[in-house]
Structure 1
Amino acid sequence: MSDAGEFIDAALQRESSWSRADELQSRLGKEPGGSGLRFYGASVGAVRGTVRNAGRRYPGLSHDEITALSSELWAVPVFERRLAAVVLLQAKVKLLTNSDLTRLEGFIRDARVRELVDPLAVEVVGPLVAGLDVLGRVRADSVLERWVREPDPWLRRAALLSPLLALRAGAGDWDTFVRHAGSVQHEPSETPTPDSDGAVVREAVSRVLAEMAKKRPELRFASVRG
């Protein structure tokens, strides 16, 4: 393990709490990707603080060092390590490039837990794509188009959630979101359990529409779709 990886892991373990670990296990263990996870019991605030401290201790990490560290943290199926990988990528999203979507796709396919997939989509994938140049954006958009047609519901969820920050800020491609969301709305429904494939995807649509209803009520889902 790298020095930075050891620093983060040790700090997360020092922040552990048996009661919090039990609560996380009880709550997240029910999600499709939760059964294989272990939990230290560190709070979200402790995870974010640990990543900040690591940034101060190991300043100036390059793109390759950041992405390698994220993969190192993710490789061990501990929730807090994986959340630290997400926080790290969020903090360094300006260093990421179009090619990093392959790594992020692997994380999303592997995660299958809302508390990991959603911040990856909203706080990493979305800002990464928004910050690309024209050519990079075209390539990234083709990746998201593929994701939204994937059988994997977590990739589809990520594609739908990815423009949320931009849309909140008054930017973003509303027409593309509506087109993607409309295709989801017309899919056949299965048994309505919280973690059924359709529910996982439709929940993402509902989240974006609910936030836009509050922040940008001028946007209309049905009228743009039609």
Structure 2
Amino acid sequence: MTADDSDPKAPAERLRSALSASADPVRAEQQRAYLRSDLHHLGVGVPDMRRSVTLGRRALGARPAPYVLALVRELWSVPEGGEQVVYEYRWAAVELLVQYARALDATHLPAVEALLRECRTWALVDPLAVHCAGAIASCDAAAGPVLDRWVTDPDFWLRRSALLALLPAIRAGRPDTDRLTRYADTLVDAREFFLRKALGWVLRETSAHDPEFVVAWVERHGTRVAPLTRREALRRLPTAPARQSQ
């Protein structure tokens, strides 16, 4: 990529070429099976992915949000002349959004939402939710109403994303306790594995700063809390509330 690129198609193509050069067919099959993916996989490893995206981002330098989103969409879609979606190209798009997250604000969440609806796997949803949507939410209060809508969306990946977007502020020691309470209460009866796991994960992270909140929440909901959620939520606590054995 070069700093004078004005059309995102050119840098997108160069990034695709760099990723294709790092392809590993054996890893591709393992990766596809592990993720239960129906996309085409190249088998690019994490170090090669991050190196390629970082080099590309450094060459481009600072870019406005519309350009970043156009580049991301170019990578996200089926390549011109191609026949199928390539997992690594979408992964690269997510990595770019994470690295350019500071260029985004709440007005760009609809574009992020559109990608989340198309991810269909935790491997793409989670970094996009935590490190992009979450980065936006942690510094732009206008993101709150968007997350409030996501947490009741019929798509469980959007509900998971709303919850995970709270993590950056939680890890920074400034959790939105009111929103966390509302989201946890909304999702306590969820039967979907990925929601139960995410709820336990977020509560576990919260317990590092506010264990009393987590214990109180688990106690308040009692046996409504799924065993998976309870186990994850209490994992870092030295003692468990009485209801854990029920």
Q: TM-score range by the shorter chain?
A: 0.7 to 0.9
2:13 aligns with one of 6, 29, 46: 6
For residue 52 of structure 1, what is the amino acid of its counterpart? T
2:43 aligns with one of 38, 41, 44: 41
Give RMSD over aligned pairs. 1.7
Matching residue of 1:177 = 180
Scaled by the length of structure 1, the TM-score of the pair is: 0.85
**For the Cα contact (< 8 Å) 1:175–1:224, is it kept in 2?**
no
CA deviations on 1:107-158 (whole Å, 9 max, x unpaired) are 11111101100001111001112222xxxx23x2111111100110000000
**For the Cα contact (< 8 Å) 2:138–2:168, is it kept in 1?**
no
Percent identity between the two aligned chains: 33
CA deviations on 1:42-69 (whole Å, 9 max, x unpaired) are 1122111111111232223322211100
**For the Cα contact (< 8 Å) 1:178–1:221, is it kept in 2?**
no
For residue 46 of structure 1, what is the amino acid of its counterpart? D
Matching residue of 2:105 = 97
For residue 159 of structure 2, what is the amino acid of its counterpart? R
Matching residue of 1:194 = none
Q: Name the CA distance, whole Å, in 2 between partners of 1:141 and 1:175.
A: 11
**For the Cα contact (< 8 Å) 2:109–2:133, is it kept in 1?**
yes
**For the Cα contact (< 8 Å) 1:94–1:131, is it kept in 2?**
no
Matching residue of 2:5 = none
Shift of 1:217: 4.3
For residue 203 of structure 1, what is the amino acid of its counterpart? K
Determine whether 1:221 maps to 2:223: no
Gaps of 5+ in 2: 1-7, 79-84, 221-246
1:15 aligns with one of 18, 22, 31: 22
Q: Name the CA distance, whole Å, in 2 between partners of 1:107 and 1:97.
A: 16
Q: Name the CA distance, whole Å, in 2 between partners of 1:219 and 1:90.
A: 32
Q: Please list, as runs of the form range in 1=range in 2, the aligned pairs for 1:164-203 lying within 5 A after superposition.
A: 164-187=167-190, 189=191, 198-203=192-197
Gaps of 5+ in 1: 190-197
Q: Please list, as runs of the form range in 1=range in 2, the aligned pairs for 1:4-83 lying within 5 A after superposition.
A: 4-28=11-35, 30=36, 34-35=37-38, 37-76=39-78, 77-83=85-91
**For the Cα contact (< 8 Å) 1:109–1:155, is it kept in 2?**
yes
